[in-house]
Structure 1
């Protein structure tokens, strides 16, 4: 995933750098597939690196490489053929080379000179891990004070869940918590509750959360345990919005 702003000088320099690093592998007999999410969503400036990471993560999850859209003619200065680089212009299955894990490298360059690069590796979903890895291998244990345990005995820990709650104003937020606390939560799966609140409810402007455990869910869900941001404010319905299109960089 390239930074790929579409500039006549920047893009050729980036493609050459990618080739110099990744074509060092003498066993590589295929081109390096590159693309940029900026052709899909534009330049999100300070969030452009995060946007690329989201694209890369989805590509790994779906097993497909999305195209770099809108390309009619490549800049000849890219020298893609000579450098062993291919710009992905059609949706393709994610390449699986050497039977190893799938990975995507992400470039993100700041206008002020900061350069960042990260490598994202796919998770083997056929191996349940409870979210933990030991020396790169899945384990069914848990972490207690930074130490791995087998989930039994005095060293075992109970999972903690975040219950997100939102409303249009602070009064409604408190009422939502009160309504939730009146349910018989002792028979409710806290994992299901956390999922429903996070994925199946609208995320409104005034937000808070409760940290809870399955064994103490009835006691945890209360107004006293509701955490809210000190910056939270009720939204003024008369507030107006402005959109700024800055062009190159964020120095407007």
Structure 2
């Protein structure tokens, strides 16, 4: 096995040469009260899946893999029915692709062509995702730095006085910070929490990417930018 990815409490693993024909398997480990380890897909035909190597999960939940097989090198994905589909093919060389991953907003896929030393960005079209939530959701920290203080003691008449002031300010991102005024008249420290970037599914239409072998242009990609040069390196599947 080589590729591993964590998404929403689940760990996806590539067994690159596993399976009945030695062409690869994808497993999923789910932790919880009753942990499970299950087979997601297994290669039964090298033309469908050929030694999946690196793996990632898109922000909307679909699994993408890059291969290190014997023939043409593909990026493939698993659809909602659990079927392996072609996404893109390395039309430049026979080198494997590696390091596949998505931007936090899900609108760009990054992948390397190993031997050629190139990094590509594929800009979809991909499903739109809502900002503010991802598979690995983080939230801003709420900090409180102001304390109520009592600066007065009992007066000669036996009354107790209190002079501490407490103020609270929050920003539009939902982070809340609190600053207080101490008994010496100075402001206490104020801190802002950071919110995590990310997204949740906007729909259940999958990646909306064509895998039709007759499609023109780059497979499932509206634009491919290359780190070196201006060639389009990913050709349509099966070309």
With the length of structure 1 as denominator, give the TM-score of the two structures.
Answer: 0.18
Higher relative contact order (CA 8 A, sep 6+): 2
Structure number with larger C-alpha Rg: 2
